[in-house]
Structure 1
Amino acid sequence: MSAGALVSAPVPDASGASGSPGAAGSGAAASGAAGSGAGAGAARPWYFSPWVTVPVPALLAALDALLANDLGSATEMITSMVAAAALLLRKRWPLIALLATLPGMELSNIWLAPMFAVYSVAVRYRNRWPMWIGGLLVALTQFVPWPWGDFTLAWDRTTALAAMYAVLTAAAPIALGMLVTTRRELAVRLDELTRGQERERRLLAQSVLSTERARLAREMHDVVSHQVSLISIQAGALQVRAGDPNATKETARTIRQLSVKTLEELRQMVGVLRAAGGDAKQLTPQPTLADLPRLVAESGLSCDLEADVEEPLPEPVERAAYRTVQEALTNVRKHAPGSCVTVRLTRGSGSLQVTVANTAGSPDATPLLLPSGGHGLIGLGERAQQLGGTLSATPTPDGGFTVAASFPTG
């Protein structure tokens, strides 16, 4: 036997005995599978425990020796019983156990002990050389009778049958051992694949959740910025009209309505965030281009709306266009109060063009002192990019600003 065969890497066999370092990968994967999937509760059946798989083959081999040999022959009984006892070592030292069973097979009529031993070699070792060498030894031992001097090789039917029996005696346990090893490796690979798919599902769910949260954040930013800027304008008007009771009451009523509306929209969107598995249909409000006239009328700005859109467009496109106009008007109120705004929507060939242009703000107007996170235009760019469109925001030479977006309608 070569040194390479003696140190070849074993794999765990059916009893659960640990292998050598060469099988560390499979052992680690198997332990991981036990930890993640089956766990301690999915232990092997009792007949796979070492208390069964170690003594039972030895007892069967001893019974084979008692039934097949002459009880009065000391040579046959001693060699066959040594072969049966050697099976007790087949889990830890399968090669030694195999070599110990060969004299019993040669000098007596046993065959069960060598078959158990060569099966253990086939199961234990990942390197196939020990398995093939062990199978060859078993086949030769079965084929060549004792004493060797009486053996003559003749090309007849008896020799052919003897050779066939010898090959089957060695090949059957080897095939079974390879089947068990392959099945165990497939189980480990299947568990790794299952855990990999589970990780992919978790990552996909996290990605979808992150995308949904980003979309909700954009919606909340647009709604809150717009509504709060309107509230700020009305509060400023309330200060100016403090001497007129009727105007003060009307402005206070408007502030109250805007505040209630803002809180209601926030409550609806927070409900979507809390709902597990909420979809886009639950996201409210969902404004469209039909709501643009009301948006422009309530903006508190000197604003002209030019909408050349007659046919309905896809809902995502209409919602993105509405949010673009809403955010642009909010920015005008923040940074250029008193300016004139033009909102233009044009239906082109396969796209919707949205342009919001404002002049320079009035020097007498006081800008709204509202906090800004700088995410408004970023959110608009993300909306346009998701729909396959474009967005640009550029200042004009006269001190104004222009926000232009293009959304494909196909």
Structure 2
Amino acid sequence: MDAVLVGIALIDVFFNVHTAESLRLAFALVGAFALLLRRRMPLLTFVLTLPSVVLSDAIFAALAALYTLASLSRRRVLLGACALAFTISDMTSLPSPSLDLSSTATLITLGYTAATAAAPVFLGQLVQTRRDLSLRLAEISEARDHERLLTTQTVLAKERAQLAREMHDVVSHQVSLIAVRAGALQVGTRDAETRQAAATIRRLSVQTLDELRHMVSVLRASGGRPAELTPQPSLAELQRLVDGSGIEAELHTDLPPETLPDGLPPTVQRAIYRTVQEALTNVRKHAPGATATVRIHREADTVHVTITNTTPTRPALPLPSAHYGLVSLRQRAELLGGTVTSGPTADGGYELRLELPADNSA
């Protein structure tokens, strides 16, 4: 695309600038080849194309640069100033400028020139809006999928909890009665064969009760918190969490690698992991386009965790939220004897801080 635009700009120069006019030809060629920089330095590219507009009728390069700047920049005052600069440059003819605003023809020409300058600005802003809308739709779709997954997990958890209650209240009770009756029969009968059968029934009933208690405990755990059936996270998985967070994030820690799985109590490791997980999720939801930095270090008997994000580059989406994330983090930290604080930073970002005692074994 850049090569095509440069080619069209060169054709524009060929038809509108005479080869004998070396100064105008030089500026026109600079403006045409400057389009190769339009994606990396759009403002500089537009500035480099302005002399060609002032000195000649080769204006395609400037219009292309103005469109690129409008599609990448959100500063509308800057875009208005650039459109005005193009209009004035196109109306001026150096080295002998003649701009008579009292003439009707001049005013009509000024109107057409201003419209010509406004067209690439509006088109670039339209492309930028369409791009932002596509990103928002993708984020909303992803948020809905995640919400659907959470809803499914909640329904399954409720069903497991209900099943656990039924097993505890009905099945366990009846098996207990069978074991009691079998024990009474074993003691009260004089027939050896009946006593042996009663002992077998009682033994199998006791084994069944033990298995039922284990199944009820598993179902209750999954009903209260679905993730507890899987291995609990530790600091060894923290780098994977940061890399898979879906945002540009970095992890800095002064903890030796060998201490990550075993150097801190499991409760402290889980609290750190969940805090980083919640903070990165909040950055992704409430600060689109921001980058995050996770820092973990230990001072004496205290572990300090700081998650900082920069200013968002796009407006935040109105995603569904129960606003319980930070509350849960504070409650978890208080149970372990630590604290969680959060607040905006001076540069417009946000920072979440966690402090926990390193020797906590709760």
Report what 1:116 is aligned to: 64
Are residues 1:59 and 2:18 paired? Answer: no
Classify the secondary structure of the residue corresponding to 1:146.
coil
Letter of the 2:45 counterpart: A
Report what 1:91 is aligned to: 39
Structure 1 pair 246–79 and aligned structure 2 pair: CA distance change class (3 A):
closer
Query: Is the Cα contact below 8 Å between 1:153 and 1:159 reproduced in 2?
Result: yes
Are residues 1:171 and 2:139 paired? Answer: no
Structure 1 residue corresponding to 2:88, chosen from 137, 140, 143: 140
TM-score normalised by the chain length of structure 2: 0.52
Are residues 1:193 and 2:140 paired? Answer: yes
Classify the secondary structure of the residue corresponding to 1:151.
coil
Query: Is the Cα contact below 8 Å between 1:64 and 1:112 reproduced in 2?
Result: yes
Structure 1 pair 254–110 and aligned structure 2 pair: CA distance change class (3 A):
same
Structure 1 pair 109–124 and aligned structure 2 pair: CA distance change class (3 A):
same
Report what 1:216 is aligned to: 163
Distance in structure 2 (CA, Å) of the matches to 1:204 and 1:214:
15
Letter of the 2:172 counterpart: S
Q: Deviations over 1:61-120 (max 9, x none)?
A: 111111222233323322211110221222222222212211111211111111011112
Greater mean deviation of Cα atoms: 173-182 or 143-152: 143-152
Classify the secondary structure of the residue corresponding to 1:126.
coil
Distance in structure 2 (CA, Å) of the matches to 1:172 and 1:149:
25
Distance in structure 2 (CA, Å) of the matches to 1:106 and 1:203:
61
In the TM superposition, residue 126 of structure 1 has moved relative to its aligned partner by 2.0
Classify the secondary structure of the residue corresponding to 2:74.
coil
Structure 1 pair 123–195 and aligned structure 2 pair: CA distance change class (3 A):
same
Distance in structure 2 (CA, Å) of the matches to 1:209 and 1:96:
58
In the TM superposition, residue 233 of structure 1 has moved relative to its aligned partner by 2.4
Structure 1 residue corresponding to 2:76, chosen from 128, 149, 152: 128
Query: Is the Cα contact below 8 Å between 1:118 and 1:174 reproduced in 2?
Result: yes
Q: Deviations over 1:222-270 (max 9, x none)?
A: 23322222222221232233314797699689879989x99xx99xx9x
Query: Is the Cα contact below 8 Å between 2:179 and 2:205 reproduced in 1?
Result: no
Classify the secondary structure of the residue corresponding to 1:154.
coil
Computing the radius of gyration over CA atoms, which structure comes out larger, 1 or 2?
1
Structure 1: tracts of 5 or more residues without a match: 1-52, 273-410
Query: Is the Cα contact below 8 Å between 2:38 and 2:65 reproduced in 1?
Result: yes
Identity of aligned residues (%): 37
Structure 1 residue corresponding to 2:52, chosen from 86, 96, 104: 104
Are residues 1:205 and 2:152 paired? Answer: yes
Structure 1 pair 91–251 and aligned structure 2 pair: CA distance change class (3 A):
closer
TM-score normalised by the chain length of structure 1: 0.46
Q: Deviations over 1:97-152 (max 9, x none)?
A: 21221111121111111101111221222222221111110111122333444332
Report what 2:23 is aligned to: 75
Distance in structure 1 (CA, Å) of the matches to 2:100 and 2:106:
9
Query: Is the Cα contact below 8 Å between 2:183 and 2:199 reproduced in 1?
Result: no
Distance in structure 2 (CA, Å) of the matches to 1:153 and 1:126:
32
Structure 2: tracts of 5 or more residues without a match: 220-362
Structure 1 pair 256–134 and aligned structure 2 pair: CA distance change class (3 A):
same
